Amino acid sequence: MQRLFPFLLWVLGVTGAWAATHLGDEVIEQIEDYAKIRNVQYPDWFTPSFLDLREDLREAQAEGKMGIILYFGQKDCAYCEMFMKVNWGSDTETVNYTRKHFNVIAIDIWGSREITDLYGTSMTETELAEFEETNFTPSFIFYVGDGEEALRLRGYYPPYQFRAAMEYVVDGYFHSETLQAYMARAHPPESYSLAPLNEEPFFDGPPYALDRSHFPGERPLAVFFEQPDCHACDVLHSEPLHDAHTLELLDHFDAVQLNMWADTPVITPDGAKTSARKWAAHLGIFFAPTIVFFDETGEEVFRIDSVVRLYRLWGVLEYVLYQGYFNAPSYQRWRENMQNRSPVYLPNLDTKP
């Protein structure tokens, strides 16, 4: 039976894990995502595995748990480090909730161990990470039932948001609604539709005629979906969006900012007439800020829908600008290739590598 407590909180305007408003937001500023040796360690309660995911799922359910979480990480990832330190470290509520309902299987995205997936296919850890398009670390895939994928998340989320995502799975809401719809009950649109956002001079103003279906754009498009009263948005608009190299990169994009709860008229890149709120729902956007990138023809090529700090933002802007999605099987692979051939800073923006 689904728990009534989150439903009662919804009646009051918030879902279960959102009741402690913004709890854990302060960890966002503590993520320093420059390159350095971190040697991230897993908690000792992670499940030892022979990496046959079919057996891992059966074992978890035999223990009375709902299923398994595949955790994709890398040893020197700043976001993984914070997740292990806080979400699955000092935040005992999140740790206990995770352990009660799931077994966690660790996957090293650069690892060579052989894995058998839920369909009986064998591949290495790296091959699985690329197959599952885990573009950011940490990434998480939730498997339940007879191997059904209930949810996947890419990137770092503060503890209260990660717990909300787990409740979405555990309480069975994934059967009937999207994570976006579930999260929206914590943020009634009328509360956020009129309040101002953090403005930047590089954002193009209305009317938001983004159609690229008839005539291609001259450069890629970055759409920033945000909301008022958003700490992660405030952090993005501090150092990352005021950095000189970020601004140099963004100068080669068309960029617009939309309130994801507002009824602002929009013509989308594929020519549809809608509103910012309906478009955000159609795209399944559940986290603010989310940045969705479209190429010159209006095709979505990438998105950031988790916490992003300066160096990850640099990397993604470069990846989209240099069309890295044509040259590598994943964002992580492209970043690795680029770091082996040149510094992160690529000054000649008029020449694609």
Return all residues near 208 (Cβ < 8 A) that are at least 6 apart: 256, 258, 264, 265, 266, 267, 276
Are residues 109 and 41 both part of a single domain?
yes
The pLDDT of residue 349 is 52
* 195 lies in some domain: no
- Assess whether pLDDT exceeds 90 at residue 61: yes
Are residues 252 and 104 both part of a single domain?
no
Q: Which of the residue ranges 11-20, 224-233, 267-276, 285-294 would you say has the lowest mean pLDDT?
A: 11-20
* Number of other CB atoms surrounding residue 332 within 10 Å: 24
Are residues 172 and 249 both part of a single domain?
no
* 352 lies in some domain: no
Are residues 22 and 73 both part of a single domain?
yes
The pLDDT of residue 339 is 79
| Confidence category of residue 186, pLDDT binned at 50, 70, 90 | low
* 350 lies in some domain: no
Q: Is the dihedral of CA 292, 294, 299, 304 positive or negative?
A: negative
* 122 lies in some domain: yes
Three-state DSSP class for residue 134: coil
Rounded to the nearest integer, the mean pLDDT of the chain is 89
Are residues 179 and 212 both part of a single domain?
no
- Assess whether pLDDT exceeds 60 at residue 177: yes
- Assess whether pLDDT exceeds 60 at residue 190: no
Mean pLDDT of 5-29: 49
* 95 lies in some domain: yes
- Assess whether pLDDT exceeds 50 at residue 17: no
Count of H-run helices and E-run strands, the chain? 14, 13
Note down the domain range covering 238.
Answer: 208-341
- Assess whether pLDDT exceeds 50 at residue 140: yes
Are residues 163 and 86 both part of a single domain?
yes
- Assess whether pLDDT exceeds 60 at residue 23: no
Count of structural domains, the chain: 2
| pLDDT > 90 in the chain, percent | 80
The position carrying tokens 């699985």 is 128
The pLDDT of residue 16 is 36
- Assess whether pLDDT exceeds 80 at residue 53: yes
pTM passes above 0.85:
yes
Report in angstroms the alpha-carbon separations of 2 from 167, 223, 270, 320, 326: 10, 36, 39, 42, 44
Determine if residue 253 is left, alpha or beta; phi over 0 gives left, psi from -120 to 50 gives alpha, anything else beta.
beta
Strand partners, 275: 265
Mean pLDDT of 85-105: 97
Are residues 33 and 147 both part of a single domain?
yes
The pLDDT of residue 175 is 96
| Confidence category of residue 117, pLDDT binned at 50, 70, 90 | very high
The pLDDT of residue 11 is 33
